[in-house]
Amino acid sequence: MEKKPTLLILAAGMGSRYGGLKQIDSVGPSGETIMDYSIYDAIRAGFDRVVFIIRKDFEEAFREKIVAKYEGKIRIDLAFQDPMDLPEGCTFPEGREKPWGTAHAIRSARNVIDAPFAAINADDFYGADAFRQLAKFLTSVDTAAEPKQFAMVGYRLDQTLSENGTVARGICEVAADGKLIGVTEMTKIARKDDGTIQNEEDPDAPVPLTGDSRVSLNLWGFTPALFEGMEERFATWFKEHEGQLKAEWYIPFYVDELVKGGKVTVDVIPTNSSWFGVTYREDKPVVVEAIQKMVEAGEYPVKLWE
């Protein structure tokens, strides 16, 4: 029997990003968080397990405030991202404060994941259609295929911008057959007053972008084959960035390397779902209003977990 897919949620940054678990923002009419909607959508799409990646130091609070609400609804497991969890021969650098990035976070689940899985951010709203589309891929993927078969949900760039400042996005180059060619991380994308969009990392040479470009928002579909070779590559990356105390190993970078090395193919799955995120505090009212409209339209119940 085929295994049902697992949802892997990157939540290790929640304590610092929200100033503690007590301050996780509610965006739904009955106090729901963005993460509640992702799990609700995943359950509806056929996922049967959630694995949270968290920091070990807030396990107790996380179990009490987050895990408890899902009991009886879906199987929950935890994996722990530890900055000291490094490949053999690598030494944690003195003065390092940041975690090692999203690829390292996903690596933290290497001994827990045993089925095709979706990897998502804890604080992004991805939409029901995105989970349905990804579940369809994950339940039919050939786990023994070579090259390995992965997927990502691609959103339109113009539907993922903030009116309150610049955003970072992985801009995807997609072949005519829908396969990913490569991902370029751009960190200062803004919509100008005239409606044009550009990346402003170099203010003297802004890069124009089109609104229909597909972007990665860290909604990935993987098989456990992702972890094959990951240890070796992380060790190499670690040595390449020795002395860079703020360098992070991001999952789009790793996938991009695998694609360009011919080791994997990545289906870019278009979605009609709207994405919402609270990049800036001023973004929250927009998210609250958007979810309220979906509740009023009958897409979600007033109370998710009754």
Query: Based on the structure, what is the number of domains in the chain?
Result: 1
What does the pLDDT read at residue 16?
56
pLDDT of 1 > 50? The answer is: no
What sections of the chain are H helices per DSSP? 14-17, 34-45, 59-65, 102-107, 128-140, 230-240, 251-260, 284-296
Residue 154 lies in a domain: yes
Average pLDDT for residues 255-283, to the nearest whole number?
88
pLDDT tier, 100 (very low <50, low <70, confident <90, very high otherwise)? confident
pLDDT for the residue numbered 15: 55
Looking at the chain, the whole-number percentage of residues with pLDDT higher than 70 is: 95
pLDDT band at 92 (very low <50, low <70, confident <90, very high): confident
1 found inside a domain? no
- Assigned domain for 104 exists: yes
- For residue 301, being part of any structural domain is answered with no
State the pLDDT at residue 264: 96
Residue 22 has pLDDT above 50, yes or no: no
Mean pLDDT of the region 100-104? 87
The pLDDT score that the predictor gives to residue 202 is: 93
pLDDT tens for residues 199-228? 999 989 999 999 999 998 889 999 999 999
Please report which confidence band the pLDDT of residue 20 belongs to, taking 50, 70 and 90 as the band edges.
low
Total Cβ atoms within 10 A of residue 248: 16
CA distance 68 to 64: 6
Q: What is the pLDDT of residue 282?
A: 82
pLDDT at 98 over 90: no
Provide the pLDDT for residue 21.
56
- CA separation for the pair 109, 145 (Å, rounded): 22
* Residue-wise pLDDT tens digits, 114-158: 999 999 998 889 999 999 999 999 999 999 999 999 999 999 999
The pTM (predicted TM-score) of the whole model is: 0.90
Res 76 pLDDT > 50: yes
The CATH number linked to 246 is 3.90.550.10
C-beta neighbour count of 167 within 10 angstroms: 20
Q: Which residue has the higher pLDDT, 90 or 297?
A: 297
In a domain, 43, yes or no: yes
306 in a domain, yes or no?
no
Tokens of 242: 């020795």
302: in domain: no
Mean pLDDT of 164-168: 86
Mean pLDDT of the chain: 89
Question: Cα separation of 291 and 297, whole Å?
Answer: 10
CA–CA distance from 150 to each of 53, 175, 256, 265 (Å)? 20, 15, 12, 6
Predicted local distance difference test score (pLDDT) of residue 176 = 95
Contact of 7 with 76, CB cutoff 8 Å: no
* Structural domain harbouring 107: 6-296
- Residue 303, in any domain of the structure: no
